[in-house]
Amino acid sequence: MLKEVTGTESFDSRVDKMKEVLGDCSAKKEQMDKILDSIRARLEQLGQEIEEYREVQQVERHKKALELALFSRKMAANQAEIDSIRQDKGKLLDERQLLVA
């Protein structure tokens, strides 16, 4: 009866409810912390994958540049050989004309 008069019973009831709410909030906070930790780990993993992808892209660009350089050299060598064959053909045609004439 003394508790009813002083209002401590309702206060104690509110305190108990708040402790329960606080416990729920703490549990939710822990759950969210776990989720955030997993998100952070995934973001770190994705960051590493992005770096690896950039390295692969750089290597591929370098590879394409080397392939282009090789192709250009082969093309120049082939063109030089074609020019040499044309010159030889021209000389042979000239010699043939001399022999026929």
Give me the pLDDT at residue 4, please: 60
Residue owning tokens 């540049």: 65
Question: How far is residue 88's CA from residue 77's CA, in Å, rounded to a whole number?
Answer: 16
Domain ranges of the chain: 2-100
As averages over each run of 10 residues, the pLDDT of the chain (101 residues) reads 63 84 92 97 97 98 97 97 94 87 68
Those residues whose C-beta lies under 8 Å from the C-beta of residue 78, and which sit 6 or more positions away, are: none
